Each structure stands twice: as structure tokens, then as C-alpha cells.
Amino acid sequence: MNALLEVSKLQVQFHRDGGISRAVNNVSFTVLQGQSLGIVGESGSGKSVTIKAVMRLLPKHARIEGEKLTFLNQDILALKEGAIRHLRGRQVAMIFQDPHAYLNPTKTIGSQLVEPLLFHRLATKQEAKQRGIDMLRQMGIPSPELRYSQYPFEFSGGMLQRVMIGMALIAQPTLLIADEPTTALDVTVQAQILKLLKKIKQERQMSLILVSHDLVIAANTCDDIIVMYGGQIVEKLPSRKLVQESRHPYTRGLISCTPTVHGPLALPDPIGGLPLNLRQPLPVGCFFAPRCPHRFDRCTVEQPKLINMGNDHEVACFLVQNVMGGVTQ
Amino acid sequence: MIDPFQVVGESSNTKLKRRSMATLIWSRLRKNKVAVIGGSFVLFLILCAIFAPLIAPYPYTQADFLATYQGPSWQHWFGTDELGRDMLSRLLYSLQTACVIGFGAELVEVTLGLFLGAIAGYAGGLVDAILMRIVDVVYGFPSLLFSIVLVVMLGHSVFAILIAVAATSWVGMARLVRGQVMVIKESDYISAARGLGATWWQILRRYVIPNSLGPVVVAITFGIPANMMVESALSLLGLGVEPPTPSWGALISNGQTSLFSFPYLLIFPTVTFALTLLSFTYLGDGLRNVFDSKSLR
Amino acid sequence: MSEQSLLSVISITKQFSSRQGKMNAVDNVSFTLQKGQNLGIVGASGSGKSTVVKLVQRLLPVTSGHIYFNGVDITTISGRSLRLIRRQMQSVSQNPYASLFPNKTIGQNIVEPLLIHKIGSASERVRTAQHLMERVGVPSDQFYAFPHEISGGQQQRISIARALALKPELLILDEAVSSLDVSIQAQILHLLDDLRHEYDLTYIFVSHNLAVIRLICSQVAVMFLGRIVEFGPIDVVYAAPAHPYTRALLEAVPDFHEVSAANEMMKESDPAPAMEPPTPYDMPSGCCYRTLCPFATNLCAQDQPSLQMQHDGRLVACHYSELTTGGASR
């Protein structure tokens, strides 16, 4: 499979009020055609900033550096404003947490849905309407003809998120980026939306990046998982290996912290301490060391690199490195 | 296993000193150079106004018919007017008048506005409706005209002018406070306070009013120079404080008549007046930035 | 109602009127809570779960029904007697930052309830606050930090400390851990569990997260559109949900066990067509869940099912509860 999106050594810093916030530190990953990748982390882990940097959606005071940042071999950082808009609208589509914030309350759902088609001149008005209604039907929205001419306030949150997904898909993008798409929804609706996302991803052979704070959701929806902490990737592995084979203490901690309805009936083991404050000077060693139950001397003086464990599994932790006998990439 | 409740990463190694909201605001404001300069100048003006009798080289009424229309000199820094009165002294005393009216009227406005606005916003319903209709009626009057009518009715004493200035401008403050209170009333911490068992008076006094003060303080810093403007406008129209009490408006209107022959008579009062307004504006802008910043709400 | 129950709520209803008409945010809800028995209230947004606890706290007046706290009818009390009841009934809300007094430091925030009720001298109050700060895991040398200067997890600890200052018997936690990151959420859950024993507390835990409720509560009330549809011991309800809605909720919670089988499962289970859930403004006739229910019949449209006691001690509002009861099929 071809590499669709390649990110190598991405760094993002925010300079403001005389301070520096190091939001993303040396992040590298690749998204293949047809692959779904989950990026998981808590608040301040840099997961959203990474995605926004890739789509050039960050404010002006953000400093983005990277060895490589390409989409289908085009250098994203070098693209002109017009080209990046073309990229965002046609090849890469995005959906966000709060559909209300992205929909114009004074325009009908239909007219907003087909906007990308008309904007990029992909269809005539009549064709666009037909495709819009088809899209609503595919998104599982009942009586799509009627819904097409209704306004956002006449939809529930779950319905609007379906419309947003439809809007993202209508120009047939090659990559869909979903940033916390179900966080604002009720649990039953969330399950429906995630199923829908998986279905369309499979049917269209499209790539998907799902950004989430919820490890379970990401693992259930995506082929591969990236776990981020303090703006770094700490572990990268296929989802099916997550529960059994993940090695990083932070990933293990997240798994044991996440309450489930069928797990053991004991309180989850918490990860001690507080999340890394990216506004303060960063630790010399491993960013997770201050909270890590297994830390030893080396962790506080040296930063672990991502080590390939084979079978698409990479970990940045000295514990693993010790066991592996220091195999490096 | 490390202690789950141990705090790591937050600056917990230093004991924080006792401090209040005021110290927090001051530490923010201090970083804004322009606001600090503006504020210092305002402070300087207030001190000048208070100590005018001590600083002024001459009594403001002392005429010297042998030294009329003198230019600036070591004896008379800002020169003398048509009666040979020292302009510096007259300026200092007019500053005093302006401050008395500016601050005094603002005090009346804040008292009225805070009281009525807070009650209207907090009580809501019929009380709010009645109070706000009164405010609307006052707001509907052309304010300068209303002030003029009041001056004509009440006379030309400093107190009368003060009332005339305050009578129209308190409604803005009342509206501002009411809006603030209505937002705060719906906030989570007010519902928390009710849940804690606070009485309505405790809630109003301890949480609603303190948290609505930010915009009020900003409005005060803009309100004082506005009052000074009204005062000088009245003087300019000959409706200000009774001569010989000096007033900015009177000095400016006086200077106007001899603009070409003795420009310093106009320049000194207008420049100090403009500087005063400007420094209030900078101070107010600085304060607004402090209060607007997200982390202070 | 029995004297010893800490809280009994008897058919309370809360009606709101708006431009869209009248709606019952809470419709004929009853439950009793024994001391030490934590109750979880779950439901989707708009199910009325937060309104129920606002009514219990008397932050909103009920339209009809009665609320007894320690055997005393508190439905219409006011003034001093209400303030005394509120001392024994405290709450922690979802958004700690918004609920802390922004003009007070975090230490002063904990002092505030003591000041309101004029408990102790000034120095005693500060000592109590410092002790509580240490207890919830915030160093007491941060007494003069302002709420906006500390992290969300720390803010929630301070909220909890403030609620504990008056030594309440009942602590209402309204989505108290929902806005926190999972690692911090686990810390707070541990803290709550320890505090419960230490301070002899009873919790009402309102949440949309069924997995969290399960860890803290012994009983659960499932709400849908303002009504309780199932109520019972948590292990009984979770093991074999009797109401179709409870079952749908439990099945919708994602679980790690599915991960390995996720891709295989895909093909068989096509996403169900979306259904617009009913709103309180256009309540369906009969059972409020029938428009979403796969088992609905004519009877469900005609007759509103009432909460019926089952043989295993739970209450279910479904005409076919005997038929539908079964494991969340996995």
C-alpha cells in the first residue's frame, strides 16, 4: 500500500507572552492508503495540535518544523494558501467534536452539505442535490428528501454529526480526519456513529485518522494506535495487540484506568501525579518518568527513543529496551 | 506504586504568600507600561488637585493689572491672563474643580448604578422591569440638555454641577451592572453558593458584587474623564461653576478669544486637559485588558 | 416512608414551560436511599438525571411530589431550616472551574462554607481548610493559589474539599469526573472511595458513564426522558438488564474485549439506521421508549408501563420485562 500521509520529526511550539509551549516534540508517523490510525492521549498530549499542524490549521504564532510533512508526496508546509485549501476540501476532510460550531444555523442542511461540490465545481446544482440526498440516505438519516431542506436546529446532536460526516465525504476525500467526533454524544449514539465511520471507511477504501482521548474507542475503530504523552509518541502498535502486548507503562496505565462495564469490579489503578505541563521546562529524561511507577535512574537523565519491536510495534521505554538487549532501529 | 495523591509537576515546592484578587490584578496591570504611565499621571493630577493651595504660587483670584497678558516666565510659568492672574495657579485650581466634579459625580453614579443595577439584575421580574423602565426614561433624555436644565434650576455651585453631571450618566452604570449581575447569577458558582446554604444577601455581597466589579472599575476610569468633559462643556457654554472659581472649560473659552495674540492662554489648558483624558484612557484600557484576560474571568 | 432511610423521593415531577410548550423534565420519579448505599443515576443528555438532583438539593422547586431527608419533609421548607438541611447535603458539579468562586483563592474557597454558616473562629476555619486540602491531595501551601492557576484535576479536588467542609451526610456528584482525563479520573475515584469510609458519606452519583457508576455505586437508576425505567442493585442490573433501554446503554459502552474481534464483527452488524429520539416536547403515547424499542407492540403504545417490582428485587417499567431480561448478549 502507498503512503498517503508521511510525517517525520514534527515539532510545534507556541510562542506567546514571552513563554514557549512545546506542544509537539519529534512526532513521526505514516498513514497508508486504506489504513485507519487512532491517535490517543490525554489533554495536553499534543494529539490535536499534531493533526492541526498537518492540516496547517494552527494560528500564526505557532512555529511548525519538520523533517518531512507530505501528503501524496506534496510538501504540505510549502503549499500555497490556495493549494492547501484545495487539499483540505477535496483530498482530506475533517470532522470535529461539536457539529453546531461548524454549521451555519441560517442555511439549510442541504445547501451546506453540497457546498464542497459546488465550491470545487464537481457537480451541477441538480446533480449536487441528488448526491446530497443520496449521501444523507447513506448516513442512515430517515426521510432524506425532507431532511435536505431543514435547518440545523431541527436535528439532534447525533443526526448533525451524521450530516457532518456526510459533508466530509461528499467530495470523496482520500483521508478523513475525525477529531473527537463522538465526545459530545450520548453513548448509544456514539456507538452508532463509530459503526458508521468504520463502515464507510471499509466501503470506500479511505484512510481514517481518529483523534480521541478514549483508548477503547480508538482501539475499537482503528487498525493501528498511536499513544501520545507530552507531545511525543510513546507507543505505536496494531489495535488488536493493545490489551495483551502493549509495553509502555503509560499505555498500560491508560488501559487499567479506563473503567469498563465488564472488567473487574475494583477501582482502576490510577496513574499518579499530574499531566506534564508543557509551558514549564521539559524534563531532561523520559517525559513520563515523574509519574512512572517503574522508573529507574536512567529514565530521569536520558530520553528513550522509539524502538521497533517487530510486527509494527514501537515503544519508547528503557524497560523494554533492557529486555530486548538494546536493539535499535 | 507511587502514591496516587502525590502531586508532581505543579509548582508545589514554594509556599504561596497571602494575596488577594487586588494583588493579582496589580501584578498584571504592572506589566502594561502604558497603563502604568497613564495611572501615574492620573495619580500626579490627583495629588496636584489636592495640594493645589500649597503648590499654587499665587491665589487664583489675585489680579495684577500691571502684568496682564504676560508670556511664560520664571515668575509666571504659564503666563498671566487679561487680569494679570497667574495661569498656573488658575490651572491647578481648575484641575481641583474638575477632579471634585469628575470623581464626585462618578461616586454618585457608581452608588446609584451599583445599587439599582444589582437589585434589578439579581431580583429580576417585576422589580427589574420597573427599575429598568426608569433607567430607559432617563436614558431617553438628551443628556447635555438635561444637565443644562438642571444647572439652570439648581444654580452654579460646584455641588449643583456635580448633580447635573451625575444625573444622566448613572443609567449607563446601572445597565452595565445589571447585565453583569444577570450573567453571574446564572453561573455555576452562584448555584454552588446556594447549595452551600448561603442567604441571598450573602450571595449578593460575597460573590455577585465582587465578581461584577471588573467592568465597573473599567467603566469608572472612563467615566471620570467623561464627567470632566461634561463639566468643561457646561463651562464653555457659560453654565459652569460660578466665576471666579476657575474651570477648564472657562479657561479654554477664555483662551479662545485671544487665540492669535496670546496662544499660550489656550494651549496650556487644552494640552493639560487632553493629557488628563489620555492618561485616564490608557489606564482604563490597561485595566480592561487585565479583566478581559480569560484566567481572571 | 421508613424513618431510617436517608432520602426518599416520592413521585416528584418537574415541569418547565417554554415557547415550545410544556414539558416534564422529571416525570413521577420515586426512589429511596439508605445510608451508605450509593446510588448511581444514569441516562442520556436530556433524561432529567441532573434535574432530579437539583430538585433533591432544592435548587429548583418541584412541581409536585415530596422529598424527605432523614424523615423530614423538605419539599417546601425555606429560610433557616433549608440552610440547615443544605449543610447535610452537599454537591460537586461537573465543571469545577466554573463552580469555584473566582474571586477567592482555593483555600478561601474551602473556608467559604464555614464562613457562610459561621462555624468556628477565623483561625480554626483556615486550619480546617488546610487539613481538607492535604486530605484531598492538594498541598496546603497552595492555599493562596487562585482556581485558574491550578489544573482541572486539582480544581475538582478543591471542589470536593469545599463540599466536605460542612461534614455532610449526603454528597451529590453530578458528572463529577466526566470532564477529567482517565488517569486523573481514576485518582479522583480512589479519593472518593476513601473519603466515603472516612467521612461516613452516602453518594448520589449522576453520570452518563455506566462503567464509572459501577465502580462507586451499589444501586443504579436508569432514566429515560424524565422517567426511571429500571432501578435496582447494580450487579443485578448490569448482569442482566431487564429494560430494553438499559440493555441498549450497556451494549453501547465500548470494551477492550471487542478489540480483537472488532474487524470480524464489522461485517455482520451493519449500523442501525439512525432514529431521531423522542424529545420531552413530543412524548410518545404509552411507553416513552417504544419508538426506539425493538420489542414494542400495540400494548406499549396504549399503556404507559409503571415500575414493577421483579422477583430479584429490582424495579422495571416495561410490559415485557420477563421476556426481555437476559444477559447483555455477548
B199: CB partners within 8 A, 6+ apart: C83
Q: What is the ipTM of this complex?
A: 0.84
Residue B296, pLDDT above cutoff 60: no
Distance, CA of A250 to CA of A15 (rounded, Å): 28
B175-196 tens-digit pLDDT: 999 999 999 998 999 999 999 9
Between chains, do B10 and A274 touch, taking CB under 8 Å as contact? yes
Distance, CA of A41 to CA of A39 (rounded, Å): 7
B residues 62..121 contacting A (CB < 8 A): none
Distance, CA of C230 to CA of C74 (rounded, Å): 26
SS3 A280: coil
Q: How many CB pairs under 8 A join A and C?
A: 152
- Report how far apart, in Å, the C-alpha atoms of A114 and of each of A89, A102, A125, C145 are: 12, 14, 9, 51
Distance, CA of C133 to CA of C142 (rounded, Å): 9
Which segment of B75-89, B264-278, C18-32 scores lowest on mean pLDDT?
A: B75-89
Q: How far is C291 from chain A (nearest CA, A)?
A: 14
A174: CB partners within 8 A, 6+ apart: A4, A33, A72, A91, A92, A206, A207
- Note whether B188 contacts A: Cβ–Cβ < 8 A: no
Here the cell at position A320 is 523494554
SS3 A304: coil
Q: What pLDDT is attached to residue B245?
A: 78
Contact C230, C222 (CB under 8 A): yes
Between chains, do C86 and B211 touch, taking CB under 8 Å as contact? no
SS3 A150: coil
Burial class, B296, CB count within 10 angstroms (exposed 0-12 / middle 13-18 / buried 19+): middle
B residues 220..279 contacting C (CB < 8 A): none
Here the cell at position B202 is 450573602
Q: What pLDDT is attached to residue C288?
A: 86
Cα dihedral A205, A209, A214, A218 in deg (nearest 10): 30
Q: What pLDDT is attached to residue C304?
A: 87
User: Residue type at C314?
Assistant: R
How many CA atoms within 13 Å lie on the side-chain side of B132?
17
- Report how far apart, in Å, the C-alpha atoms of A47 and of each of A176, B74, C88, C161 are: 16, 71, 43, 32
Contacts of C59 in chain B (CB under 8 A): 191, 194-195
Contacts of B3 in chain A (CB under 8 A): 272
Between chains, do A199 and C257 touch, taking CB under 8 Å as contact? no
Q: What pLDDT is attached to residue A102?
A: 83
SS3 A6: strand
Q: List the subunits that have 3+ CB pairs under 8 angstroms with C.
A: A, B
Contact A213, A42 (CB under 8 A): yes
Backbone angle region of C286, left / alpha / beta, with phi > 0 → left and psi within -120 to 50 → alpha: left
Collect the ranges in chain A with pLDDT lower than 50: 326-329
- Report how far apart, in Å, the C-alpha atoms of C219 and of each of C53, C198, C236 are: 16, 21, 9
Q: What pLDDT is attached to residue C264?
A: 47
pLDDT, average across residues B47-69: 78
Contacts of A293 in chain B (CB under 8 A): 1-2
Residue B22, pLDDT above cutoff 60: yes
Residue B4, pLDDT above cutoff 70: no
Residue showing cell 486539582: C154
B196: CB partners within 8 A, 6+ apart: C86, C90, C112, C113, C116, C162, C166
B230: CB partners within 8 A, 6+ apart: B143, B144, B147, B165, B169
Mean pLDDT by 10 residues, chain C (330 residues): 77 88 89 93 89 93 94 90 92 90 93 94 94 91 88 91 94 90 89 92 93 92 93 92 91 76 48 69 84 85 86 87 54
Contacts of C152 in chain A (CB under 8 A): 43
> What 3 state SS string does chain B have?
CCCCCCCCCCCCCCCCCCCCHHHHHHHHHCCCHHHHHHHHHHHHHHHHHHCHHHHCCCCCCCCCCCCCCCCCCCCCCCCECCCCCEHHHHHHHHHHHHHHHHHHHHHHHHHHHHHHHHHHHHHCHHHHHHHHHHHHHHHHCCHHHHHHHHHHHHCCCHHHHHHHHHHHHHHHHHHHHHHHHHHHHCCHHHHHHHHHCCCHHHHHHHHHHHHHHHHHHHHHHHHHHHHHHHHHHHHHCCCCCCCCCCCHHHHHHHHHHCCCCCCHHHHHHHHHHHHHHHHHHHHHHHHHHHHHCHHHC
Mean pLDDT of chain B: 83
Nearest CB to B187 within list C87, C98, C154: C98
Distance, CA of C14 to CA of C18 (rounded, Å): 13
How many CA atoms within 13 Å lie on the side-chain side of A260?
16
Helices (H), chain C: 49-56, 79-87, 96-99, 106-116, 122-136, 152-164, 182-199, 210-216, 234-239, 244-252, 262-268, 298-302, 321-324
Confidence bin at B255 (pLDDT 50/70/90): confident
* Prior bond of A142 cis (ω within 30°): no
Sign of the CA dihedral C46, C50, C55, C59? Answer: negative
Between chains, do A290 and B7 touch, taking CB under 8 Å as contact? no
- Note whether A144 contacts C: Cβ–Cβ < 8 A: no
CA angle A103, A104, A108 (to 5 degrees): 95
A residues 47..86 contacting B (CB < 8 A): none
Residue B61 sits at φ, ψ, to 5 deg, of: -95, -10
Residue B5, pLDDT above cutoff 60: no
| pTM as predicted | 0.84
Between chains, do B8 and A276 touch, taking CB under 8 Å as contact? no
Here the cell at position A60 is 500564526
Distance, CA of A326 to CA of B62 (rounded, Å): 96
pLDDT, average across residues B69-76: 74
CA angle A291, A292, A293 (to 5 degrees): 120
Between chains, do A290 and B9 touch, taking CB under 8 Å as contact? yes
SS3 C13: strand
Q: What pLDDT is attached to residue A281?
A: 79
- Report how far apart, in Å, the C-alpha atoms of C330 and of each of A258, B66, C43, C246, C320 are: 20, 110, 22, 15, 21
List residues of C whose CB lies inside 8 A of any B CB.
Answer: 57, 59, 82-84, 86-87, 90-91, 93, 95, 98-103, 105, 112-113, 116-117, 136-139, 141-146, 148-151, 154, 162, 166, 186-187, 190-191
Burial class, A322, CB count within 10 angstroms (exposed 0-12 / middle 13-18 / buried 19+): exposed
Contact C315, C231 (CB under 8 A): yes
> Strands A314-315 and C21-33: what pairing?
unpaired
Between chains, do B16 and C145 touch, taking CB under 8 Å as contact? yes
| Cβ atoms < 10 Å from Cβ of A67 | 12
Nearest CB to A270 within list B4, B7, B10: B4
Nearest residue to B94 via CA among B237, B247, B266 = B247
- Note whether B7 contacts A: Cβ–Cβ < 8 A: yes
Contact B281, B222 (CB under 8 A): yes
Alpha carbon of residue C208 to chain centroid: 9
- Note whether B202 contacts C: Cβ–Cβ < 8 A: yes
End-to-end C-alpha distance for chain B, whole angstroms = 39
Nearest CB to C44 within list A188, A202, A213: A188
Confidence bin at B219 (pLDDT 50/70/90): very high
Distance, CA of B40 to CA of B20 (rounded, Å): 22
> Strands A62-65 and A68-71: what pairing?
unpaired
Distance, CA of C152 to CA of C143 (rounded, Å): 16
CA angle B2, B5, B8 (to 5 degrees): 75
Between chains, do B2 and A274 touch, taking CB under 8 Å as contact? no
Residue B153, pLDDT above cutoff 70: yes
Q: Looking at chain A, which residue has its C-alpha nearest residue B7?
A: A273
Here the cell at position C191 is 479519593
- Note whether B293 contacts C: Cβ–Cβ < 8 A: no
Distance, CA of A84 to CA of A82 (rounded, Å): 5
Q: What pLDDT is attached to residue C1?
A: 44
Here the cell at position A14 is 507556541
Contacts of A36 in chain C (CB under 8 A): none
Over pLDDT 70: what percentage of chain A?
97
Alpha carbon of residue B132 to chain centroid: 24
| Cβ atoms < 10 Å from Cβ of B261 | 8
Angle between helices B143-154 and B158-185 (to 10 degrees): 140
Q: List the subunits that have 3+ CB pairs under 8 angstroms with A.
A: B, C
Q: How far is A151 from chain C (nearest CA, A)?
A: 15
Q: Looking at chain C, which residue has its C-alpha nearest residue A268?
A: C186
Largest separation between any pair of C-alpha atoms in chain B: 94
Residue C28 sits at φ, ψ, to 5 deg, of: 55, 55
- Note whether B14 contacts A: Cβ–Cβ < 8 A: no
Q: How far is B24 from chain A (nearest CA, A)?
A: 17
Contact C241, C328 (CB under 8 A): yes
Contacts of B194 in chain C (CB under 8 A): 59, 86
Here the cell at position C291 is 419508538
Between chains, do B202 and C91 touch, taking CB under 8 Å as contact? no
Contact A15, A61 (CB under 8 A): yes
Residue showing cell 420519579: C29
Between chains, do B9 and A269 touch, taking CB under 8 Å as contact? no
Q: List the subunits that have 3+ CB pairs under 8 angstroms with B.
A: A, C
Residue showing cell 452595565: B176
Contacts of C83 in chain B (CB under 8 A): 197-199
